[in-house]
Structure 1
């Protein structure tokens, strides 16, 4: 079959690779001049299935009110006249119950664990390299109250069979020796030893080369205008290069997916939640992290990527804005600078922002639509890198009429009614 994929981020490229491996003729369209130049460009770098947790959780509304008034807040809200923003916020609040949290986290972990296994297989088959490491993830708690509040997460990890370790300060320093200089800031940690790290941008570009060797055609610098359809069948995508046809279409445009789907009458509840990162050159490797640390206080991920430290996080609800306020950089610098002082040269760090495509329940939307040849692979939020390979395998299996290796009925658009 001829498969046309809209989007050349990590989700679109992994989808292209798996479909090409299955023998399909694949075309990928993107407005950028190369792969992974938007949300996949400089994300936090961690592949952390066990930390795949919904943003909507019990107690979050009250925490959010407190965060909004913090100097280094993990949440920034810039209110504006935007019905899509209001609708998304209300839907997310409706998911802030214990029952919804348990359901949402369980299916997120299911997909994320499967995706990690798919990545391991892909790496073994291809020998692909992307500054990868397999040294686990440490969720670091600066306060005892944070450590005391992990009971529900541990219950889900046990239920899903995810290995974990609850560590005291000595155990945290054993896992991350660079923390020895700030022992007084460490109350404890939750470590997932099977988690990985890697540069999503490097991975996506290397995989795009492998996909090209399998016959995938990439069309860059192309503006995607709209779908053409008759009834419930998509015939082509209208672009700045003319119409591009296909037997099957995959919408993988992240935060921009709803804009293209709306004229089809498809309401995709994905909204951009802006994140920030800095990439810091390492100047003292002994003081630097060895893998990923999740700084629970600031909701910041600090990841070792070769000779660099990637520091990423925060959630800013401000529409499609991509500005770079100095205050956001200071929050990232505060997190990494306080935990790993002297490890990197903060003055020469590069500063970046990206739009995470978030759903109200934090679970991506993967699968068929009411159009008989249109599939979705979008809405991965902060976990596009973690879930990319598994999501692509699921879509490829569904298109080929194969039963996926995991349950997928609760991942498609129909769960929103």
Structure 2
């Protein structure tokens, strides 16, 4: 049986391991943390949002970013520093801000999003996995007229591509989400995508990892991945093994027939010795969890919400 090593036990690595195992492969997942979903997937926003497919890189982004440089409360903080990798990423980002590139990227993101959402719904039906999922749709709301106006064209483009995102007026927005009523006088409009979802990414990753183990997938936790070992003489080097270091042990070699790299931004340093430069630069996000007052549950949002202006 072909043996595949999946490097990284985040939501992407664990889901990849599940599908590979279902396809009949012998699978080992290698992860430096002590459990699945403990890095980027740990406190993820948790939206299954095809409707949020407008690329960060778009014609309006450079001017917004320039304004945000001088604001400590900016929706996206970009701190300039003497970092060659950051500068290279920024230049590539600017190249993608052209209108033609932004549209091409939107098309790909919508297609990938639709496929991913369908795959998740099918997976949920197949194995009845519970991860605090909600299928109430996603609403983007706007308190700035210019931001709302700018959202109409991408929304129509998404509709052409099969994403059921619709522009709705303030009354519809408040009816769908009564928690918006206190700021109804500030709203300029909204969009709503009924088939989008939300859920707990950390819980999904850990519960799917449990299903993977039941299906025969092996997990090597507390194991650092130090290097990808290749045939140096090849023009296109083949990774024949990896160097790993289990916690408290010496480095050792681990072999598999194929390898899947699912380490997020940590993938960059592993690929660099192979002269493969991944255009990835890490961004830090923040999330907060609040206990809902049981005496006033109506004050909490029912629909998953996105404030587009403030990200």
TM-score, normalised to structure 1, is: 0.70
User: Is the contact between residue 136 and residue 195 of structure 1 (CA under 8 Å) also seen in structure 2?
Assistant: yes
Q: Distance in 2 between matches of 1:229 and 1:147?
A: 51
Cα separation, 2, equivalents of 1:251 and 1:47: 22
Matched-pair contact (CA < 8 Å) for 1:72–1:298: no
Match of 1:239 among 240, 244, 247: 244
Q: CA deviation at 1:33?
A: 0.6
Cα distance in 2 between the residues matched to 1:277 and 1:78: 20
1:278 and 2:298 equivalent? no
Q: Alpha-carbon deviation of 1:69?
A: 2.6
Contact 1:140–1:190 (Cα < 8 Å) also in 2: yes
Q: CA deviation at 1:71?
A: 4.5
Aligned-residue RMSD, C-alpha:
1.1
Counterpart check, 1:288 vs 2:293: no
Structure (1 or 2) with the larger CA radius of gyration: 2
Instruction: Tell me the distance in 2 between the aligned counterparts of 1:202 and 1:193.
Output: 23
Three-state SS of the structure 1 residue aligned to 2:192 is strand
Alpha-carbon deviation of 1:165?
2.2
How far apart are the structure 2 equivalents of 1:61 and 1:37? 33
Answer whether contact 1:50 1:113 (CA < 8 A) is retained.
no
1:260 counterpart (270, 282, 292):
270
Instruction: String of CA shifts for 1:100-152, please: whole Å, max 9, x gaps.
Output: 01000100110110000000000000000001011111001002222111233
Gaps of 5+ in 2: 247-251
Structure 1: any 5+ residue segments left out of the alignment?
Answer: 300-417
Q: What's the counterpart of residue 168 of structure 2?
A: 167
In structure 2, C-alpha distance between the alignment counterparts of 1:179 and 1:172, rounded to whole Å:
8
Contact 1:142/1:296 (<8 A) preserved: no
Give the TM-score normalised by the residue count of structure 2: 0.94
Alignment of 1:117-128 (within 5 A): 117-128=118-129
The alpha carbon displacement at 1:193 in A equals 0.9
Q: Is the 8 A contact 1:251 1:257 kept in 2?
A: yes
> How many matched pairs?
299
Distance 2:81 2:222 in 1: 31
CA–CA distance in 2 between the matches of 1:97 and 1:107?
Answer: 16
